[in-house]
Amino acid sequence: MSRKQKKVLVRIIVSAVTLVICALISHFIEMPLAAELFIYLVPYLIIGYDILIKAGKGILNRQVFDENFLMAIATVGAVALGDYREGAAVMLFYQIGELFQSCAVGKSRRNISALMDIRPDYANIEREGEIVQVDPDEVEVGSEIIVKAGEKIPIDGIIVDGRTTLNTSALTGESVPRDAEKGSAVQSGCINMTGLIRVKTTKEFGESTASKILELVENSSLKKAKSENFISKFARYYTPAVCLGALALAVLVPLVRMIIGTSPEWGIWVMRALTFLVISCPCALVISIPLGFFAGIGGASSQGILIKGSNYIETMANTKYVVFDKTGTMTEGVFDVVGIHHNIMEREKLLEYAALAEIGSNHPIAECIRAACESEIDKTRVSSVEEIAGCGIIAVIDGRKVAVGNEKLMGKLNIAHKPCHGVGTLVHIAVDGEYQGHILIADVVKPTAKEAITMLKKAGVARTVMLTGDSQKAAKPVAEEIGVDEVHCSLLPADKVEKVEEIISKKKTKEKLAFVGDGINDAPVLSRADIGIAMGALGSDAAIEAADVVLMDDNPLKIVKAIKISRKCMRIVYQNIIFAIGIKLICLALGAVGIANMWFAIFADVGVMIIAVLNSIRTLRIK
Annotated catalytic residues are 325
Query: CA-CA distance, 589 to 593, in Å (whole number)?
Result: 6
Q: Tell me, what DSSP letter sits at residue 274? A: H
Query: CA-CA distance, 58 to 502, in Å (whole number)?
Result: 51
For residues 192 and 166, is the Cβ–Cβ distance under 8 A?
yes
Query: CA-CA distance, 460 to 462, in Å (whole number)?
Result: 6
Query: Which residues fall within 8 angstroms of residue 577, CB to CB, at 6 or more apart?
Result: 227, 231, 285, 289
Query: CA-CA distance, 56 to 599, in Å (whole number)?
Result: 25
Number of H helices and E strands in the chain, helices first, is 21, 22
Largest Cα span, the chain? 123
State the distance between the two ends of the chain, measured CA to CA, in whole angstroms: 25
For residues 184 and 193, is the Cβ–Cβ distance under 8 A?
no
Query: CA-CA distance, 75 to 84, in Å (whole number)?
Result: 9
Task: Write a three-state SS string for 437-489.
Answer: EEEEEEEEECCCHHHHHHHHHHCCCCEEEEECCCCHHHHHHHHHHHCCCEEEC
